[in-house]
Structure 1
Amino acid sequence: MKLRGYKIIGKARFDIARLKWEPSLEIRKIEEPNKGQTQIFTGSQTAFARNLFPMEDTAAKFALETGKRMVLGLVNGLEI
């Protein structure tokens, strides 16, 4: 999903201790200045750590949908 100068990417990482997929969210700057800089939301300090999934694609979709809701609450200009 693109958002006026940014790209939002839903991903998942496997948590070997719990044998499930944890969602993660990446927001990447796609325009100058700071093109290529990335901010990643993952780990115990996010809502994603409490939402684990048995399948990778389900976790990634959850991250993207949650990310969309977060961004919609913060900025204008959403392009889907």
Structure 2
Amino acid sequence: MSLPDYADGLVKIAMGWLGWDLDKAMRSDCLAIQIGYEGRSDMLAAIFGGEKKPEELPAFGPGMMGKRGAA
């Protein structure tokens, strides 16, 4: 996964799942978005029951920076 794809995924989670506006999503730390997503998934599981099966983003690693623009 390229860095732009990873960033797009985080923004989709921040805006879609967490309800943040674009400014807050873009200024937020990657870890804050992931923790917020886990918390929202836990909340929905507590309200509606069922197993928590969140979509996992891959771990951000140093090798991703060199893949910018790669498909």
Category of TM-score, reference length = shorter chain: 0.3 to 0.5
By percentage of residues, which structure has more helix? 2
Q: Which has the higher contact order (CA 8 A, sep 6+)?
A: 2
